[in-house]
Amino acid sequence: MLRSLAAGCLFACASALRKGRTPESAAQETDAPASSMHTSRLRSMVLADDQWMWLAVVQAPITLYVLFLLLRRICRDGLRQVVKDALGALIASAAALPGVQGAVDAALNKEVAKMEAKMHGAGDPKAVIVLPAKGIPAKELLALADERSAVEDKSGKTWGGVYHETRGEPGELAKLQADMWSRFNSTNALYPTTFSSVRKFEAEIISMCVGLVHGHAPRAERPAGDSSPMKEWNCEGEAVGLLSSGGTESILIAMYAYRQLAHDRGIQSPEIIACYTAHPALDKACHYFNLKLTKLKAQQSTQQLRAADVAAAMTPQTIAIYASSPTFSHGVCDPIPELAVLARQRDVGLHVDNCLGGFWLTFLQREGKFQEPFDFQVPGVTTMSVDVHKYGFASKGVSVVAFRNAALRSLSWFPITDGPTLYVTPTLQGARSGAIMAQAWATLQHMGEDGYASAVRKLDAIFTEASDAVKATQGLRLLVESKLCIIAIASDDPAINIYVVASEMGKRGWNMNTSQGPACMAICIGEQHHGLIQGWKQDLKDSVEFIRANPSTKAEGDAGTYSTAEMLPANILDKVVRSYLDVKLTVKPAMAA
C-alpha cells in the first residue's frame, strides 16, 4: 500500500526542487550581460592565495567533523534509519515549495482511500448513524449481530489476539464465562460496599496472579557482599498489585509510579531505558507522563536487551529499566537477572513486561523448560505486568500490574482531597464493570494449576513443531531461538523476501504478523493451532516454493505495507497510522444506487 505513497512523496519533492529555479531567475541569468558574467567569474578566480589557504584550513576539519558525525550516526542507528531520516528532512523542507505539500497530501489521500476500500468496501446498507427513533426487539438485534459476525473467519487461521480455543460450539469454559458475565453484568467495582462480591473477585484475582510470579513466596536472599542500596520502595515484602483493563494500562500505571518516585527524589526529567523491542505501550506511557524514553538497539543475534548497553546509557535522571519476558514481536526474554543486578547497583526500578508470557512462562518454568528466573524471585525486579486475558484464557479486559510492595504501589494512586468529595480509584479508570472481574475470577478457578500446566504442555508441543518446520524449510530461518509464544521467521536467501512470504501466506488464509528492523514475519501460537499446524506447515512450504517459481511476486496487503514502511520517514508514517484510526472509526453507509 505504501509503495506508491513513497514514490509520490519523492516525485513531489523532485518536481518542486526542479521548479525551484523559477522562470524569473532563469530569465535574469539569460539576460545578464556577458561582460558582467565574465567579470564575476574573473573576480572569483583571483582570490589571494592566503584566502584559499585559510578556506582550506577551516573547511577540512569541518568536513571531517561532519563525516565523523555521519559515520557515528550510521553505526548507532544503521544506514537504513539514516536514509529514512534524511528523506523525512527532505520532504519536510520541500513542503514549503510550491505544490509539494499538495502533492504529498494527494499521495497520502490515495493510500487512505485504499485503506477505506479494504475496510469498508462499498459501505454497509445497514450502517447505524443515529439512535433509532423506536427501540428494536432483542430477537432482531441478535439476528443482526449474527449476520455481521457471519462474515468473520472462524477457522482459527486468522489471528485475532484470542489465545484459547474458540472454534465450534462453546465449551465448558466459554459457557462459564458467559454465565458469570450475565450474573454480574449490572455491577460496578467503584462501589465495593454495594457489590462486595466484586471487590472479593478483584482482590483474589490480583492475589492469584501475584502468587504465580513468586510474589508470595520467600524471596531469594541477597548475594553475599551485595551492599547495593535497597530503599523502602524496593525492599523485600509481600508483593501487591492492581487489576487493569489490559497490558497497556498496566504498563502506564507502572510508569506513572516511577515518575512519581522520580519526583519524590527530586528528579525533574526522569528517564526510562528500554530496548527497541519494547511494547509500544511504553512509548505511549512516556508520552502521556512526560518521561524521556531512551531506546537501545537489541543484540543482533538474540534480539535481547544487553545489560552492558543499559549501564552505558544510564544517567542520574534514570529512574527505571524496562525489560520484556518475552518480547511481543520476537518471543525472546531479556536477561532479567543481569538487568536486576544493574538496577540494584544504580538504585533504580526494573519493570518486567510479562503481559504476553504470563501463565505460559510461569508453567513452562515449572516444567523445567525455561531455566532463567524472570519474576519476583529476582531481587531488583520491582514491577511486573501480567495479562490474564492472553494465556490466562480470560475474556478481554483483564491484566494485573504487580509491585514489589505496597509502598511502590501507593505511588501510582492519585487521591483527590480538595473537591466536594474524597475520591480515589486504584487504576486509570473510574467505574468498572464487575462482570469482567467475575468471569476472570471464574476462569482462574476453573483452570487451576493443573489446567494451565496441561495447556502449556500442548502449546509447547505446537510451538516446537512449528519451529522445526521453519528450520526444515529451505530459504527460511528462525530469526531467534525463542522459547514461547512467538516464532519469528526471517530469510537470508536473496530470492526469498520474507514480506512476500507473509503475503503469500495471507492469500492462503494466514495473517502472519510482520515487523521491521530486522525484517521478519511471525506466528503467535494459540490453542487453536492444535488442529491447524499441519496445514500451516504445508502452506509455508508451498508459499516459499511459489516465490522461487515466480520471483517477480510482490508483497501485498499488510506485508506490503511493512515492506515499504522500512524506507518511509517517520513523519509520513505518522500520518498514515493516524489516518488508519480515522478510517477504522468511521461509519460508512452504502451509497444509494
Residue 148 lies in a domain: no
* Alpha helices for 95-238 (secondary structure H): 100-120, 138-149, 172-183, 196-212
Beta-sheet strand order (sheet of 271-275): 240-244, 399-403, 383-387, 349-353, 318-324, 271-275, 292-296
Same domain? For 281 and 316 the reply is: yes
Same domain? For 455 and 435 the reply is: no
495 in Cβ contact with 505 (< 8 Å): no
pLDDT of residue 26: 41
Same domain? For 269 and 205 the reply is: yes
Residue 138 lies in a domain: no
pLDDT of residue 262: 97
Question: How many Å apart are CA 205 and CA 444, to the nearest integer?
Answer: 8
By 3-state DSSP, what share of the chain in percent is helix, strand and coil, each rounded to 5? 50, 10, 40
Residue 133 lies in a domain: no
Question: How many Å apart are CA 497 and CA 475, to the nearest integer?
Answer: 10
Copy the grid coordinates of residue 445. Answer: 478457578
**How many CB atoms neighbour CB 576 within 10 A?**
18
Residue 32 lies in a domain: yes
How many residues appear in the chain? 593
Q: Which letter, b or e, does each residue of 209-235 get, where b requires 16 or more Cβ atoms within 10 Å of its Cβ?
A: bbebbbbeeebeeeeeeeebeeeebbe
**Looking at this protein, which amino acid is placed at residue 239?**
A
427 in Cβ contact with 244 (< 8 Å): yes
100-120 and 570-584 helices, crossing angle to 10°:
40
Same domain? For 431 and 520 the reply is: no
Question: How many Å apart are CA 134 and CA 215, to the nearest integer?
Answer: 53
215 in Cβ contact with 402 (< 8 Å): yes
- Which of 85, 116, 147 is the last residue in one of the domains? 116
- pTM, two decimal places: 0.83
Question: How many Å apart are CA 579 and CA 362, to the nearest integer?
Answer: 39
Residue 380 lies in a domain: yes
Number of structural domains in the chain: 3
Question: How many Å apart are CA 198 and CA 50, to the nearest integer?
Answer: 86
Residue 142 lies in a domain: no
Computed over every residue of the chain, the mean pLDDT equals 86
Same domain? For 465 and 517 the reply is: yes
CATH of the domain at 195: 3.40.640.10
Instruction: Give the H/E segment covering residue 543.
Output: helix 533-549
Contacts 24+ apart (CB under 8 A), 188-191: 188/431, 188/432, 188/433, 188/434, 189/431, 189/432, 189/433, 189/434, 189/437, 190/425, 190/430, 190/431, 190/432
- Which of 58, 83, 116 is the last residue in one of the domains? 116
Which residues are CB-neighbours of 111 under 8 A, at least 6 positions away? 1, 2, 4, 5, 576, 579
Copy the grid coordinates of residue 272. Answer: 526510562
Same domain? For 203 and 255 the reply is: yes
* Alpha helices for 158-317 (secondary structure H): 172-183, 196-212, 247-264, 280-288, 307-313
Question: How many Å apart are CA 447 and CA 209, to the nearest integer?
Answer: 13
Four-CA torsion 260, 373, 484, 258, nearest 10 degrees: 0
CATH of the domain at 459: 3.90.1150.10
Residue 355 lies in a domain: yes
Same domain? For 278 and 363 the reply is: yes
Copy the grid coordinates of residue 379. Answer: 531481587
DSSP string, 469-520: HHHTSTT-EESS---SSEEEEE---TT--HHHHHHHHHHTT---EEETTTTE
Same domain? For 535 and 479 the reply is: yes
Same domain? For 385 and 246 the reply is: yes
Question: How many Å apart are CA 244 and CA 252, to the nearest integer?
Answer: 10
Residue 204 lies in a domain: yes
Contacts 24+ apart (CB under 8 A), 71-80: 76/297, 78/517, 80/517, 80/566, 80/567
Helix (H), strand (E) counts: the chain:
20, 11
Q: Which residue in the block uniquely carries the three cell numbers 474458540?
A: 166
Same domain? For 317 and 440 the reply is: yes
Copy the grid coordinates of residue 21. Answer: 529555479
Copy the grid coordinates of residue 195. Answer: 457489590
Same domain? For 347 and 473 the reply is: no
C-alpha dist (Å) from residue 283 to 275, 328, 453, 523: 11, 14, 33, 24
Question: How many Å apart are CA 77 and CA 95, to the nearest integer?
Answer: 26
pLDDT of residue 561: 59
pLDDT of residue 312: 97
332 in Cβ contact with 480 (< 8 Å): yes
pLDDT tens track, the chain, 593 positions: 555 555 555 555 555 545 544 434 444 444 445 444 454 444 454 445 555 555 556 666 666 666 666 666 656 555 555 555 665 666 566 556 666 677 777 877 887 888 888 889 889 999 999 999 999 999 999 999 999 999 988 888 988 888 998 888 889 999 999 999 999 999 999 999 999 999 999 999 999 999 999 999 665 555 555 555 545 555 556 899 999 999 999 999 999 999 999 999 999 999 999 999 999 999 999 999 999 999 999 999 999 999 999 999 999 999 999 999 999 999 999 999 999 999 999 999 999 999 999 999 999 999 999 999 999 999 999 999 999 999 999 999 999 999 999 999 999 999 999 989 999 999 999 999 999 999 999 999 999 999 999 999 999 999 999 999 999 999 999 999 999 999 999 999 999 999 999 999 999 999 999 988 899 999 999 999 998 999 999 999 999 999 999 999 988 866 555 555 555 667 777 888 888 899 999 999 987 66
- Which of 116, 138, 160 is the last residue in one of the domains? 116
Same domain? For 423 and 285 the reply is: yes
**Residue from 301, 525, 256, 307 nearest 414 by CA:** 256
445 in Cβ contact with 455 (< 8 Å): no
DSSP 8-class letter at 402: E
Domain that holds residue 34: 2-116
Contacts 24+ apart (CB under 8 A), 449-455: 449/363, 452/359, 452/362, 452/363, 452/391, 452/392, 453/363, 453/366, 453/367, 455/164, 455/363, 455/391, 455/393, 455/527
